[in-house]
Amino acid sequence: MISEQLTEKNSITASLIQAFDRDIEEEITEYWNRRAEGFAKTRLAELSGPVKSRWMHEIASAVLGTSHSLRILDVGTGTGFFPIITAPLGHRVTGIDLSPEMIAEAKAAAAHFDVNAEFRVMNAQALDFEDETFDLILTRNLTWTLPDARTAYSEWFRVLKKGGRLINFDADYGSVSFESLTHDLKDQGVENAHKGLSDNSLAECDRIKDSLGISDERRPEWDFQVLTEIGFERVSLDNSLSDRIYLECDETFNPVRMFRIDAVKA
């Protein structure tokens, strides 16, 4: 009897967790769908300004001077920034995002820049790709939005070829309040990428962010540990990314200091 009760309790708990995951993923999708148009304008400013070459410099060692065309996956592509700057180098690039509106904007941007890249709506935590498909995975400002980042990292490991490389650009967004930070910057007259967001949008982003487990972790140290446990090798952390990318306070400026994580699938 006790065993049956425990089994039933565990089943109910698992169902509740699954329901929560579905609900939060729907919230995340709806939020970024609403942000897609404004997000596209920010990325267009990046593609038209000095930030573009700085990002290219960050990934140059992975995408330039290769002896063959790489299979590249951009996870959480948003409006397609990385595919737009890497596909013209002759690589086969796929960008995925949970938000259909982001993918629509990415396709439009790629067409605008006459770039041939594939874009698909897909969950970063459950990839629809065969094992060992990609030579390189790029991701920027995504991990902090994931309900289960550990599962996502495992999936990325799965679809990387042996010797494949992961480059993750992110920040410890869980340690800040977007609403408070944006108001502070406004009071100081500092231009930034969040300046045009409404208080409601900022508050909603904070609420969703604060509901995610990754927001409670110390990053990027947590990422280093998880990647190592999964089986990645040559994992390295770089906390000075923002010093190389955001040299001006303009509409592309990210006020939260970003880090870079590199890892290799042996």
Give every strand in the sheet of 160-171, ordered side by side.
Answer: 118-121, 92-97, 71-75, 134-140, 160-171, 258-265, 232-238
Mean per-residue pLDDT, 232-247? 98
**Domain residue limits, the chain:** 2-265
* pTM assigned to the model: 0.91
User: Using the 8-state DSSP alphabet, how is residue 88 labeled?
Assistant: G
Mean per-residue pLDDT, 168-182? 97
CB proximity list for 37: less than 8 A, separation 6 or greater: 101, 105
Helix axes 2-47, 199-210, angle to 10 degrees: 140
The CATH number of the structural domain formed by 2-265 is 3.40.50.150
The whole-number pLDDT of residue 67 equals: 87
Cis peptide before 100 (omega within 30 of 0): no
What is the rounded CA–CA span in Å between residue 181 and residue 15?
A: 37
Is 19 a residue whose pLDDT tops 90? no
Percent of the chain with pLDDT over 70: 92
**DSSP codes joined into one string, 151-210:** HHHHHHHHHEEEEEEEEEEEE-GGGS-HHHHHHHHHHHT---TTTT--HHHHHHHHHHHH
CB 151 within 8 A of CB 239: no
The whole-number pLDDT of residue 2 equals: 58
